[in-house]
């Protein structure tokens, strides 16, 4: 038996009855958009993160665009963003009218740092997107100390912990994705904006609703971007289990260390003070294709996620002129995601490590 790259279905088996009941509850109320389930989940999620407010939106990409606009980002502004991330982190910037400015990462944590962000700041910088990549937690307070507001892209970091709180409550605002494979996933698309600033939350509520408060008068060009009642009801069933699942991910990471994986590949390093709920467990290898072949040969799932970094994707080239991002290029060339899930067992980890040993020099 092989080891799959991820496994998010097993954790839901035990919740099937509760999930069915939640769906029926929505059918019974016949409220499908912006009803009681979304309001309740927004409150519960804000409380979970330790954020003041939460605003449910349609997905994690629009969450970024709407949050940036709610933070006052617009035409003529620049937004600093890492290039070693999922494309959407940067794709969400141009729809605000602002332009992305790409910054480098720490090669061991895969996250931006105050130094890599500082190198990309200009007088036009209006915000920084700190991506909590793979479940690690970027040093948000150190970046805000540079004097620029941070939007946390926490799409991959639900359940993670930082020394000073949880993702979602570390910066001016934060965004989450509830794409099904995420640490907290729904049964379709879904997203959330959290913020400590009630004015930002209020602007985001208006923006997600066509730029209106009542669909009678319109204040601005907005979006039709709501988390729906069914997804919210499904997420409410799962949220109380998120910490347990996160602990399973941490434990799997410790199993990898205990099994000696660090002697074969470069292990991801948590940012100082962070306790990541590893969304993906991404290792480094000088010849990742060789590692990939060894793992695939043993039926172990693996995947390079970001071989071409965002700033070298065709639509981004116009904003990447002169960008020199050596750590990003290195990470793009050498990274490989190996199995990770809340239910990854010690035995499975040992199987992965044995297979990785076949790629040792």
Residues numbered 12-71 forming contacts with ligand PLP, rule: CB under 6 A: 59-61
Q: Which is closer to ligand PLP, CB of 90 or CB of 355?
A: 90
Q: Does 106 bind ligand PLP (CB under 6 A)?
A: no
Work out which of 86, 278, 281, 319 binds ligand PLP, going by CB under 6 A. 86
Smallest gap from residue 89 Cβ to ligand PLP (A): 5
Smallest gap from residue 65 Cβ to ligand PLP (A): 10
Q: Which is closer to ligand PLP, CB of 89 or CB of 284?
A: 89
Smallest gap from residue 278 Cβ to ligand PLP (A): 13
Smallest gap from residue 314 Cβ to ligand PLP (A): 19
- Cα 78 to Cα 93, 97, 111, 283, 326: the distances in Å are 9, 9, 20, 32, 22
Q: Which is closer to ligand PLP, CB of 154 or CB of 161?
A: 154
Q: Does 88 bind ligand PLP (CB under 6 A)?
A: yes
Structure tokens at 113: 């740092």
Q: Does 136 bind ligand PLP (CB under 6 A)?
A: no
Residues numbered 190-249 forming contacts with ligand PLP, rule: CB under 6 A: 191
| Contact by Cβ (8 Å): 255, 344 | yes
Helix (H) or strand (E) holding 293: helix 288-297
| Contact by Cβ (8 Å): 223, 210 | yes
Smallest gap from residue 105 Cβ to ligand PLP (A): 13
Q: Which is closer to ligand PLP, CB of 104 or CB of 153?
A: 153
Q: Which is closer to ligand PLP, CB of 170 or CB of 294?
A: 170
* Matching residue, tokens 């934060």: 174
Kindly provide the b/e burial profile for residues 327-359, where b requires at least 16 CB atoms within 10 angstroms of the residue's own CB: bbbebbebbbbbbbbbebeeebbbbbbebbeeb
Q: Which is closer to ligand PLP, CB of 264 or CB of 325?
A: 325
CA distance 168 to 172: 9
CA distance 131 to 111: 7
Q: Which is closer to ligand PLP, CB of 230 or CB of 261?
A: 230
Smallest gap from residue 28 Cβ to ligand PLP (A): 28
Q: Which is closer to ligand PLP, CB of 41 or CB of 179?
A: 179
Q: Which is closer to ligand PLP, CB of 63 or CB of 356?
A: 63
Work out which of 89, 116, 275, 341 binds ligand PLP, going by CB under 6 A. 89
Residue 142 dihedral angles phi and psi, to the nearest 5°:
-65, -35
Question: How many residues make contact with ligand PLP (CB under 6 A)?
Answer: 15
Site mask, ligand PLP, residues 144-183, x = CB under 6 A? ---------x-xx--------------------x-x----
Q: Give strand pairing partners of 162.
A: 165
Identify each DSSP E strand in the chain by its residue range. Answer: 53-57, 78-82, 99-103, 125-131, 150-153, 173-177, 191-195, 281-284, 335-338
Smallest gap from residue 359 Cβ to ligand PLP (A): 27
Helix (H, G, I), strand (E, B) or coil at 283: strand
Q: Which residues make Cβ contacts (< 8 Å) with residue 96, sequence separation at least 6?
A: 65, 68, 69, 73, 74, 75, 77, 79
Give contact residues for ligand PLP (rule: CB under 6 A). 59-61, 85-86, 88-89, 131, 153, 155-156, 177, 179, 189, 191
């Amino acid at each position: 038996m092989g080891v799959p790259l991820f496994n998010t279905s097993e954790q839901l088996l035990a919740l099937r009855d509760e999930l069915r009941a939640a769906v029926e509850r929505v059918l019974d109320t016949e409220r499908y958009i912006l009803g009681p389930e979304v309001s309740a989940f927004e409150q519960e999620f804000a409380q979970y993160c330790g954020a003041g407010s939460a605003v449910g939106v349609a997905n994690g990409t629009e969450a970024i665009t709407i949050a940036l606009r709610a933070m006052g980002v617009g035409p003529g502004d620049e937004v600093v963003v890492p290039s070693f991330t999922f494309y959407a982190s940067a794709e969400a910037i141009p729809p605000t009218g602002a332009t992305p400015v790409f910054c480098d990462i720490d090669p061991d944590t895969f996250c931006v740092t105050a130094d890599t962000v500082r190198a990309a700041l200009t007088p036009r910088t209006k915000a920084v997107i700190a991506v909590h990549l793979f479940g690690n937690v970027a040093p948000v307070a150190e970046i805000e100390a540079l004097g620029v507001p941070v939007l946390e892209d926490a799409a991959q970091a639900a359940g993670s912990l930082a020394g000073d709180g949880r993702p979602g409550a570390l910066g001016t605002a934060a965004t989450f994705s509830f794409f099904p494979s995420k640490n907290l996933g729904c049964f379709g698309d879904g997203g959330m904006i959290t913020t400590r600033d009630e004015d930002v939350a209020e602007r985001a509520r208006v923006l997600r609703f066509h730029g209106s408060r009542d669909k009678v008068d319109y204040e601005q060009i907005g979006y039709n971007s709501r988390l729906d009642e069914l997804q919210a009801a499904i997420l409410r069933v799962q949220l109380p289990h998120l910490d347990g699942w996160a602990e399973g991910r941490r434990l799997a990471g410790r199993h990898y260390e205990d099994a000696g994986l660090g002697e074969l590949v470069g292990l991801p390093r948590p940012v100082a003070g962070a306790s990541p709920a590893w969304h993906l467990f991404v290792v480094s290898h000088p010849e990742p294709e060789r590692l990939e072949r060894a793992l695939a040969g043993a039926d172990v799932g693996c995947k390079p996620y970001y071989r071409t970094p965002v700033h070298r994707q065709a639509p981004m080239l116009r904003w990447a002129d002169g960008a020199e991002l050596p750590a990003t290029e290195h990470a793009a060339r050498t990274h490989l995601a190996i199995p990770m899930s809340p239910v990854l067992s010690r035995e499975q980890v040992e199987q992965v490590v044995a297979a990785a040993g076949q790629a040792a020099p």
